[in-house]
Amino acid sequence: MPDIALHQLPDAGALTGSEILPIDDGAATVKTTVAALRAGLAATGHAHAVTDVTGLQAALDGKVSATDARLGDARPPTAHTHPAAELSDATATGRALLAAADATAGRTALGLGSLATQAAASVAITGGAINATSIGSTTPAPAILTTLGVGSGAPRANVVAQIHGANRALASDDTANLIVTTSDAATDHKGGSIGLGHAGANGTLLSVIKAGRQPGTTNQGYLSVAVRTDASFPIEVGRFTSTGLNGCPIGATTPNTGAFTTLTATGPVGVGSPATVVADAAGHLCLRSYTVATLPTANPAGRLVHVSDGAGNRHLAVSDGTAWRWTDGTTVS
């Protein structure tokens, strides 16, 4: 059999441990198995002394002794610092707030203005706008304003209070003495009204002053006065237009003096209370009628009356300051 070098042998398959191998134990060539060889090469527990590791003892000597009393007691902290930038779980705003030098810088970091420094009971707003916010709806308080606008749109110059849009009102509570409303409805002729006084829980107004555009006109305005006479809404008692005062009794309850250049009536003209007609609707003069027994005093002179039961069928009598006389000068009897 020719000699074959070891490296020329074919590769072995997976070793099971029972394979036999030749070994040289120093004295002779003997055989063993793969399993025995593996057992001989297995890790074996062992120990090393501190001195086996160069420098280990010196390093251990530099540590705190196991008997050091400080190991059984809290050790005093060592002062040190960390910059805010080292806080990895903080936002940029949070780090800026931590690094703020004072309160002003802190407010700047949070984006707060001067309003943040004011007390809730003493706030001064000197600029900007307040939008979509109810003011005084829970606890009303006085307000001092240069201009008050209700509705959308900016108030016009030199306007103290302006109500924008249709069917809006400026009013106090349900015991109000003043209600101001506006309307674009055709029946209101694009005007407004001021209601004065409430009557009862239903809020019926006692009187209304209303202004608007005359029906059927372009720019002719009017001012109307309405008063409440019963449980219904106040009815118009007079209207001021460019042509005068219409539909308004003057002195109907408490008469007073007045002067007119022209007095025109579409119905009877009466004087006194209750009224005595002195001219009817057709323009005829009317005299107050008496009997001879009920004639008033003849003073002052110059008054004319009708005597219903005058003697000789005479009825027109005139006062002379002392007595009533027929037109022929004889005393009324």
**In 3D, which of 189, 195, 266 has the Cα closest to residue 222?**
189
Both tokens of residue 248?
């308004």
Number of domains in the chain: 2
Q: How confident is the model over 288-315, as a mean pLDDT?
A: 93
Same domain for 214 and 290, yes or no, is no
Same domain for 232 and 187, yes or no, is yes
Q: How confident is the model at residue 309 (pLDDT cuts 50, 70, 90)?
A: very high
Residue 182 sits at φ, ψ, to 5 deg, of -130, 155
Angle at CA 18, nearest 5°, toward 14 and 21? Answer: 90
CA distances from 171 to 141, 197, 199 (A): 15, 11, 15
* Beta carbons within 8 Å of 317's beta carbon, 6+ residues apart: 295, 304, 305, 306, 307, 310, 324, 325, 326, 327, 332
108 belongs to a structural domain: no
* Beta carbons within 8 Å of 27's beta carbon, 6+ residues apart: none
Same domain for 274 and 184, yes or no, is no
What is the per-residue pLDDT for 186? 47
309 belongs to a structural domain: yes
220 belongs to a structural domain: yes
101 belongs to a structural domain: no
Same domain for 312 and 229, yes or no, is no
Which residues are paired to 171 by β-bridges?
179
Same domain for 237 and 279, yes or no, is no
**Domain termination residue (choose one: 246, 281, 303):** 246
287 belongs to a structural domain: yes
Q: How confident is the model at residue 15 (pLDDT cuts 50, 70, 90)?
A: confident
- pLDDT tens for each residue of 183-240: 554 444 556 666 666 555 444 566 677 777 766 666 677 777 777 666 566 777 777 7
56 belongs to a structural domain: no
- How far apart CA 245 and CA 256 sit, in angstroms, is 17
Same domain for 274 and 242, yes or no, is no
Same domain for 276 and 235, yes or no, is no
Q: Most confidently modeled of 55-64, 151-160, 192-201, 245-254?
A: 55-64
Same domain for 239 and 285, yes or no, is no
Q: How confident is the model at residue 67 (pLDDT cuts 50, 70, 90)?
A: confident
Same domain for 240 and 302, yes or no, is no
- pLDDT tens for each residue of 135-146: 877 887 887 777
Same domain for 229 and 281, yes or no, is no
Same domain for 153 and 239, yes or no, is yes
Helix/strand/coil for 294: helix
Q: Which domain holds residue 286?
A: 269-326
C-beta separation of 322 from 299 below 8 A: yes
Same domain for 234 and 284, yes or no, is no
176 belongs to a structural domain: yes
94 belongs to a structural domain: no
